[in-house]
Amino acid sequence: GNSYSLDATRYIERMMLQAGFGYEQFGFCCVMRGGASLQYWSEHLASDKVIEEKYAMGGTLVPKGDGWTLRQLLREPWDIVVLQQSSNQSDDYATYTPYVDSLVQAVRRECPNPHVKLAWHMTWSHALCFSCKPYSLKGWSDIVSATEQLLLQPGRFDLLIPSGTVIQNARACMDDDLELTRDGSHIVYGVGHYLLSLTWFETLVAPFYGVSLLLTPPSAEICSAYSDKQPFCPVTELNWQLCQECVKSALASPYEVDDTGLVYRLNTRLHRLRSTEERLYDLSGRRLSRPI
Protein backbone atom coordinates (compact mmCIF):
# COMPACT_ATOMS: atom_id res chain seq x y z
CA GLY A 1 0.00 0.00 0.00
CA ASN A 2 1.02 3.56 0.79
CA SER A 3 0.84 6.08 3.61
CA TYR A 4 -2.87 5.27 4.06
CA SER A 5 -1.78 1.75 5.04
CA LEU A 6 0.36 3.22 7.83
CA ASP A 7 -2.50 5.45 8.94
CA ALA A 8 -4.85 2.48 9.18
CA THR A 9 -2.61 0.27 11.32
CA ARG A 10 -0.91 2.62 13.78
CA TYR A 11 -2.86 1.28 16.80
CA ILE A 12 -3.12 -2.36 15.73
CA GLU A 13 -0.40 -3.62 18.09
CA ARG A 14 -1.94 -1.81 21.06
CA MET A 15 -5.32 -3.34 20.23
CA MET A 16 -3.86 -6.85 19.99
CA LEU A 17 -2.28 -6.43 23.41
CA GLN A 18 -5.49 -5.06 24.91
CA ALA A 19 -7.34 -8.10 23.51
CA GLY A 20 -4.96 -10.40 25.39
CA PHE A 21 -2.57 -11.51 22.65
CA GLY A 22 1.16 -11.81 23.28
CA TYR A 23 3.81 -10.34 21.00
CA GLU A 24 4.85 -13.84 19.95
CA GLN A 25 1.36 -14.65 18.61
CA PHE A 26 1.07 -12.15 15.77
CA GLY A 27 2.88 -10.01 13.24
CA PHE A 28 1.69 -7.11 11.08
CA CYS A 29 3.97 -5.93 8.29
CA CYS A 30 3.28 -2.84 6.17
CA VAL A 31 4.99 -2.58 2.78
CA MET A 32 4.49 0.91 1.42
CA ARG A 33 5.60 3.77 -0.74
CA GLY A 34 4.01 7.20 -0.55
CA GLY A 35 1.29 7.55 -3.17
CA ALA A 36 1.82 4.00 -4.49
CA SER A 37 -0.99 2.57 -6.62
CA LEU A 38 -1.94 -0.94 -7.72
CA GLN A 39 -0.06 -0.26 -10.95
CA TYR A 40 3.07 0.68 -9.01
CA TRP A 41 3.07 -2.54 -7.00
CA SER A 42 2.24 -4.70 -10.01
CA GLU A 43 5.21 -3.27 -11.90
CA HIS A 44 7.36 -3.46 -8.77
CA LEU A 45 6.58 -7.18 -8.52
CA ALA A 46 7.38 -7.78 -12.19
CA SER A 47 10.73 -6.00 -11.98
CA ASP A 48 11.83 -7.73 -8.75
CA LYS A 49 12.99 -4.46 -7.26
CA VAL A 50 13.93 -4.24 -3.60
CA ILE A 51 11.17 -2.86 -1.37
CA GLU A 52 12.03 0.66 -0.25
CA GLU A 53 9.96 0.84 2.93
CA LYS A 54 8.83 -2.06 5.13
CA TYR A 55 7.42 -1.40 8.58
CA ALA A 56 6.73 -3.81 11.44
CA MET A 57 3.40 -2.49 12.73
CA GLY A 58 3.13 -4.96 15.60
CA GLY A 59 4.15 -8.33 17.03
CA THR A 60 7.22 -10.44 16.42
CA LEU A 61 6.09 -12.70 13.55
CA VAL A 62 7.35 -10.36 10.85
CA PRO A 63 10.24 -10.92 8.43
CA LYS A 64 13.42 -9.33 9.73
CA GLY A 65 15.89 -7.14 7.91
CA ASP A 66 15.90 -5.21 4.64
CA GLY A 67 16.62 -6.08 1.04
CA TRP A 68 13.38 -7.94 0.40
CA THR A 69 11.65 -8.01 -2.97
CA LEU A 70 7.87 -8.18 -3.02
CA ARG A 71 8.00 -11.70 -4.44
CA GLN A 72 10.28 -12.87 -1.61
CA LEU A 73 8.02 -11.32 0.97
CA LEU A 74 4.93 -12.97 -0.48
CA ARG A 75 6.64 -16.33 -0.01
CA GLU A 76 6.33 -15.96 3.75
CA PRO A 77 3.47 -17.98 5.37
CA TRP A 78 0.99 -15.10 5.69
CA ASP A 79 -2.55 -15.68 6.97
CA ILE A 80 -3.94 -12.50 5.40
CA VAL A 81 -2.62 -10.14 2.70
CA VAL A 82 -4.26 -6.73 2.28
CA LEU A 83 -4.29 -4.67 -0.93
CA GLN A 84 -5.52 -1.14 -1.62
CA GLN A 85 -5.58 1.50 -4.35
CA SER A 86 -3.94 4.92 -4.06
CA SER A 87 -6.34 7.51 -2.70
CA ASN A 88 -6.44 9.71 -5.82
CA GLN A 89 -7.37 6.71 -8.00
CA SER A 90 -9.63 4.90 -5.56
CA ASP A 91 -12.81 6.30 -7.13
CA ASP A 92 -11.96 5.13 -10.67
CA TYR A 93 -12.31 1.40 -11.25
CA ALA A 94 -10.56 1.71 -14.63
CA THR A 95 -7.29 2.26 -12.72
CA TYR A 96 -7.70 -1.02 -10.83
CA THR A 97 -7.33 -3.38 -13.76
CA PRO A 98 -5.38 -5.34 -14.85
CA TYR A 99 -3.07 -4.61 -11.93
CA VAL A 100 -5.26 -5.90 -9.12
CA ASP A 101 -5.61 -9.30 -10.81
CA SER A 102 -1.87 -9.68 -11.32
CA LEU A 103 -1.31 -8.96 -7.62
CA VAL A 104 -4.08 -11.28 -6.45
CA GLN A 105 -2.72 -14.08 -8.62
CA ALA A 106 0.79 -13.47 -7.31
CA VAL A 107 -0.35 -13.71 -3.68
CA ARG A 108 -2.20 -16.97 -4.27
CA ARG A 109 0.68 -18.36 -6.32
CA GLU A 110 3.62 -17.35 -4.12
CA CYS A 111 2.26 -17.62 -0.57
CA PRO A 112 2.97 -21.10 0.88
CA ASN A 113 -0.15 -20.95 3.08
CA PRO A 114 -2.90 -22.63 1.00
CA HIS A 115 -5.54 -20.97 3.20
CA VAL A 116 -4.23 -17.41 2.85
CA LYS A 117 -7.01 -14.81 2.78
CA LEU A 118 -6.98 -11.67 0.65
CA ALA A 119 -8.52 -8.50 2.05
CA TRP A 120 -9.37 -5.29 0.23
CA HIS A 121 -8.86 -2.01 2.08
CA MET A 122 -11.51 0.48 0.97
CA THR A 123 -9.93 3.84 1.78
CA TRP A 124 -11.53 7.19 2.66
CA SER A 125 -12.15 10.24 0.52
CA HIS A 126 -10.26 13.54 0.78
CA ALA A 127 -11.56 16.59 2.59
CA LEU A 128 -13.06 19.33 0.44
CA CYS A 129 -9.98 21.50 1.02
CA PHE A 130 -7.57 19.01 -0.57
CA SER A 131 -5.91 19.52 -3.95
CA CYS A 132 -7.56 16.65 -5.82
CA LYS A 133 -10.55 14.30 -5.75
CA PRO A 134 -12.17 12.11 -4.52
CA TYR A 135 -13.83 14.67 -2.26
CA SER A 136 -15.93 14.09 0.83
CA LEU A 137 -19.37 12.42 0.49
CA LYS A 138 -19.42 12.34 -3.33
CA GLY A 139 -15.90 10.92 -3.38
CA TRP A 140 -16.83 8.27 -0.84
CA SER A 141 -19.82 7.27 -2.98
CA ASP A 142 -17.53 6.88 -6.03
CA ILE A 143 -15.07 4.79 -3.97
CA VAL A 144 -17.97 2.56 -2.93
CA SER A 145 -19.00 2.09 -6.58
CA ALA A 146 -15.46 1.11 -7.56
CA THR A 147 -15.23 -1.28 -4.62
CA GLU A 148 -18.54 -2.95 -5.45
CA GLN A 149 -17.36 -3.46 -9.02
CA LEU A 150 -14.06 -4.88 -7.78
CA LEU A 151 -15.74 -7.40 -5.51
CA LEU A 152 -18.29 -8.54 -8.08
CA GLN A 153 -15.79 -11.02 -9.50
CA PRO A 154 -15.59 -14.10 -7.26
CA GLY A 155 -12.21 -15.36 -6.14
CA ARG A 156 -10.52 -11.99 -5.91
CA PHE A 157 -11.00 -11.11 -2.26
CA ASP A 158 -12.24 -12.85 0.87
CA LEU A 159 -12.60 -9.83 3.16
CA LEU A 160 -13.50 -6.15 2.91
CA ILE A 161 -12.10 -3.56 5.34
CA PRO A 162 -14.59 -0.66 5.05
CA SER A 163 -12.36 2.13 6.36
CA GLY A 164 -13.84 4.69 3.99
CA THR A 165 -17.35 4.11 5.28
CA VAL A 166 -16.21 4.21 8.91
CA ILE A 167 -14.63 7.63 8.35
CA GLN A 168 -17.69 8.87 6.45
CA ASN A 169 -19.92 7.69 9.32
CA ALA A 170 -17.74 9.61 11.75
CA ARG A 171 -17.77 12.72 9.56
CA ALA A 172 -21.56 12.65 9.68
CA CYS A 173 -21.61 13.02 13.45
CA MET A 174 -18.31 14.69 14.40
CA ASP A 175 -17.86 18.37 13.64
CA ASP A 176 -14.34 18.94 12.31
CA ASP A 177 -12.99 21.50 9.83
CA LEU A 178 -10.70 19.06 8.01
CA GLU A 179 -13.15 16.12 7.99
CA LEU A 180 -11.03 13.98 10.34
CA THR A 181 -7.83 14.50 8.36
CA ARG A 182 -4.67 16.32 9.38
CA ASP A 183 -3.93 17.79 5.96
CA GLY A 184 -7.03 17.12 3.87
CA SER A 185 -5.87 13.60 3.01
CA HIS A 186 -4.07 11.68 5.79
CA ILE A 187 -6.17 10.77 8.80
CA VAL A 188 -6.01 12.85 11.97
CA TYR A 189 -4.00 11.55 14.92
CA GLY A 190 -6.02 10.14 17.79
CA VAL A 191 -9.67 9.61 16.87
CA GLY A 192 -8.89 8.92 13.19
CA HIS A 193 -6.31 6.24 13.87
CA TYR A 194 -8.51 4.66 16.53
CA LEU A 195 -11.41 4.39 14.06
CA LEU A 196 -9.23 2.81 11.37
CA SER A 197 -7.28 0.36 13.54
CA LEU A 198 -10.46 -0.82 15.25
CA THR A 199 -11.98 -1.47 11.82
CA TRP A 200 -8.97 -3.56 10.84
CA PHE A 201 -9.03 -5.44 14.14
CA GLU A 202 -12.74 -6.24 13.92
CA THR A 203 -12.38 -7.36 10.28
CA LEU A 204 -9.14 -9.35 10.42
CA VAL A 205 -8.84 -10.58 14.01
CA ALA A 206 -12.18 -10.67 15.81
CA PRO A 207 -14.01 -13.11 13.47
CA PHE A 208 -11.20 -15.66 13.57
CA TYR A 209 -10.45 -15.59 17.30
CA GLY A 210 -13.83 -14.60 18.72
CA VAL A 211 -12.26 -11.65 20.56
CA SER A 212 -13.92 -8.29 19.92
CA LEU A 213 -12.99 -4.87 21.30
CA LEU A 214 -16.41 -3.41 20.59
CA LEU A 215 -18.19 -2.38 23.81
CA THR A 216 -14.75 -2.26 25.50
CA PRO A 217 -13.28 1.16 26.36
CA PRO A 218 -9.91 1.77 24.68
CA SER A 219 -6.89 1.29 26.89
CA ALA A 220 -4.94 4.22 28.33
CA GLU A 221 -2.10 3.31 25.93
CA ILE A 222 -4.42 3.72 22.96
CA CYS A 223 -5.89 7.01 24.19
CA SER A 224 -2.44 8.53 24.75
CA ALA A 225 -0.75 7.16 21.61
CA TYR A 226 0.74 9.83 19.33
CA SER A 227 -0.47 12.62 21.60
CA ASP A 228 2.84 14.35 20.88
CA LYS A 229 1.92 14.62 17.19
CA GLN A 230 -0.08 17.46 15.74
CA PRO A 231 -2.89 17.88 14.93
CA PHE A 232 -4.23 15.51 17.59
CA CYS A 233 -7.93 14.84 18.27
CA PRO A 234 -8.01 12.67 21.39
CA VAL A 235 -10.08 9.56 22.04
CA THR A 236 -12.02 10.40 25.20
CA GLU A 237 -14.79 9.13 27.46
CA LEU A 238 -17.13 11.35 25.44
CA ASN A 239 -16.38 9.96 22.00
CA TRP A 240 -15.04 6.37 22.18
CA GLN A 241 -18.56 4.90 22.11
CA LEU A 242 -19.42 7.10 19.15
CA CYS A 243 -16.33 5.81 17.34
CA GLN A 244 -17.36 2.22 18.00
CA GLU A 245 -20.88 2.88 16.71
CA CYS A 246 -19.34 4.20 13.48
CA VAL A 247 -17.30 1.01 13.13
CA LYS A 248 -20.18 -1.33 13.92
CA SER A 249 -22.42 0.39 11.41
CA ALA A 250 -19.80 0.20 8.64
CA LEU A 251 -19.12 -3.47 9.29
CA ALA A 252 -22.85 -4.19 9.04
CA SER A 253 -23.43 -1.94 5.99
CA PRO A 254 -20.10 -1.19 4.27
CA TYR A 255 -21.74 0.62 1.34
CA GLU A 256 -24.06 2.88 3.33
CA VAL A 257 -23.45 5.93 5.52
CA ASP A 258 -25.32 5.80 8.83
CA ASP A 259 -25.85 9.06 10.67
CA THR A 260 -29.30 8.24 12.04
CA GLY A 261 -28.69 5.00 13.92
CA LEU A 262 -25.77 6.29 15.95
CA VAL A 263 -26.54 6.33 19.67
CA TYR A 264 -23.95 8.93 20.67
CA ARG A 265 -23.28 12.32 19.13
CA LEU A 266 -20.78 15.01 19.97
CA ASN A 267 -22.28 18.37 20.85
CA THR A 268 -18.95 20.14 20.72
CA ARG A 269 -16.30 20.41 18.05
CA LEU A 270 -13.31 18.08 18.17
CA HIS A 271 -10.33 19.64 19.90
CA ARG A 272 -7.57 20.03 17.33
CA LEU A 273 -4.06 21.43 17.59
CA ARG A 274 -2.19 22.72 14.54
CA SER A 275 1.10 24.18 15.64
CA THR A 276 3.95 22.01 14.39
CA GLU A 277 5.42 20.54 11.23
CA GLU A 278 5.20 16.91 10.19
CA ARG A 279 6.78 14.80 7.47
CA LEU A 280 4.22 13.62 4.93
CA TYR A 281 4.04 12.14 1.44
CA ASP A 282 2.53 13.85 -1.54
CA LEU A 283 0.52 11.83 -4.05
CA SER A 284 3.56 11.25 -6.28
CA GLY A 285 5.33 9.52 -3.42
CA ARG A 286 7.78 12.29 -2.54
CA ARG A 287 8.46 12.99 1.11
CA LEU A 288 7.81 16.52 2.22
CA SER A 289 7.69 18.56 5.38
CA ARG A 290 5.45 21.59 5.57
CA PRO A 291 3.41 23.51 8.12
CA ILE A 292 0.11 21.87 9.02
Assess whether pLDDT exceeds 60 at residue 223. yes
Whether the CA torsion 287, 96, 197, 166 is positive or negative: it is positive
Q: Which range (29-38, 114-123, 170-179, 241-250) has the least confidence?
A: 170-179
Report the percentage of the chain scoring pLDDT > 90.
Answer: 86
Dist. CA 38–CA 84, nearest whole Å = 7
pLDDT band at 258 (very low <50, low <70, confident <90, very high): confident
Q: Once rounded to an integer, what is the mean pLDDT over residues 209-232?
A: 96
Please give the backbone phi and psi of residue 250, each rounded to the nearest 5 degrees, phi first.
-70, -35
The pLDDT, as a whole number, for residue 216 is 97
Report the percentage of the chain scoring pLDDT > 70.
Answer: 88
Dist. CA 73–CA 157, nearest whole Å = 19
pLDDT band at 288 (very low <50, low <70, confident <90, very high): low
Q: Which residue has the higher pLDDT, 41 or 155?
A: 41
Dist. CA 237–CA 281, nearest whole Å = 32
Q: Once rounded to an integer, what is the mean pLDDT over residues 82-94?
A: 98
Whether the CA torsion 40, 103, 53, 201 is positive or negative: it is positive
pLDDT band at 292 (very low <50, low <70, confident <90, very high): very low
Phi-psi region of 253 (alpha: psi -120 to 50; beta: other; left: phi over 0): beta
pLDDT tens digit string along 97-136? 999 999 999 999 999 999 999 999 999 999 999 999 999 9
Q: If you average pLDDT over every residue of the chain, what do you get? A: 91
Dist. CA 261–CA 268, nearest whole Å = 19
Assess whether pLDDT exceeds 50 at residue 276. no
pLDDT band at 175 (very low <50, low <70, confident <90, very high): confident
Q: Which range (60-74, 93-107, 253-267) has the least confidence?
A: 253-267
Dist. CA 276–CA 73, nearest whole Å = 36
- Three-class secondary structure assignment of 182-194: CCCCCECEEHHHH
pLDDT band at 277 (very low <50, low <70, confident <90, very high): very low
